[in-house]
Structure 1
């Protein structure tokens, strides 16, 4: 199988607890449930793209522990090519500690583990995987140097390059922007990158215009219940969010990115790919967990018909 979407990024085991409300600093609250769930922003996006119709390969690292074995097996079960998933001897796999409250809001603490071992050399080693793709997708849960290497190589190869700048702790390297076809931040990430507080469609547009001014080809700001805002040098378009009853928003952003990449790989224009991704993300928040919440293509098609 030749992948048409390659996701370069993290694989984590999510340790998820549900509680009535999120604790304040220094406070202990009682949880209602606990589960281990396959996650990591990279793996989530790969699973989303695969379930939504793309042929997907994953490039990343897992530890030589039980979690690493389980994470690899989970991707394979979703028909994802794992030839470029390297096992790091003596390292623990990445984990994410996730707390979800009764209003479906969450806090997440990520421990990188083996994800921190993904190196530029891995990008060179698996260059043939990148060459066969139409779309390359990156996030920021692996070393910045490695992400920069992927972005530059994607531009050299003429691929569609997508960066979901999450998690973000400050400005991106300025030379990255010219290598990015689609930059997809949420409200807080758009604020961190642009310096503009995003709390409305108007402020989202201002932030996105600033990011386009930095050199990004096109920016899609995901705004939760407000939908998504597309901004390029030529136009601005708002896409309203489908209305659903939210249960857990943990993987909604990853589902959007994976769905958007799958839509582009399937030949959709960017507007249709955004709408397709929005339906997938909306369906994901109606279910608990990260990867378990990601819908299948038939689910999205059924929702669209209804």
Structure 2
């Protein structure tokens, strides 16, 4: 067989490498961004310091996956890179600037907490909103003639992308609450545990809104979302995740609630990928049309094969060394 799901094996592997990088980024840095936003709700210095210390050893390694994803998009799908970034200069620039501000806040907070605490939660908030807007803009479709962007550059400033931005903020805050439940102690751990059910309901409602809105945009999106091979396994996995979350909260486990939340987020991510497939620039540029020459794909896939295990080992080692409660 020379093809997989209608794509050549090289194209399928290239798309899988891109999806893998984005998925791991969302799970890791999305949790960091959520914790950063929740730090803005903490009133005492000690609680904010705990959040800072929990993020300090891991935030930079988590963002490596965003670099891999952006580099993969440029190298593996240069046409898609050119069109997407031309359409989304403003939210992409806002996201990058916010991530820089957040990194500064994490690294330099001990020198001036009153200055850098607002930079942490504000940078996390803007980065999360920007990422949701980028996601919503892709779902809504980017104007192009098959070769270049043909819009005004302000298509992202419309109700659906903005709604997606708010939905992603809710989802990241849910992940951040799971992180704080795992890493913090005392009253801060208890507040995070109590916040998880409410944030879960809010995120579920926002996600339902995104899915219903997406289904109403295009017939192909609606058919994808109603495909039994999508919703049946994802629903089963999501139910297991909800059960694990309930058990983790009821028995006051530290890590299980976060793990269950990440499973639920992975289900939502999988639904998004399945809905957009096989388009890489919805709704007229397919993966095959945007793919780089085969020689370039082979070279970059070998590079991915080397970089991904190294990055995973680094992430795992960092979480292992700095695991445990922060008192």
Q: What TM-score comes out, normalization by structure 2 length?
A: 0.28
- Structure whose CA Rg is larger: 2
Q: What TM-score comes out, normalization by structure 1 length?
A: 0.30
Q: Which structure is higher in RCO with an 8 Å CA cutoff and minimum separation 6? A: 2
Name whichever structure is richer in helix by fraction. 2
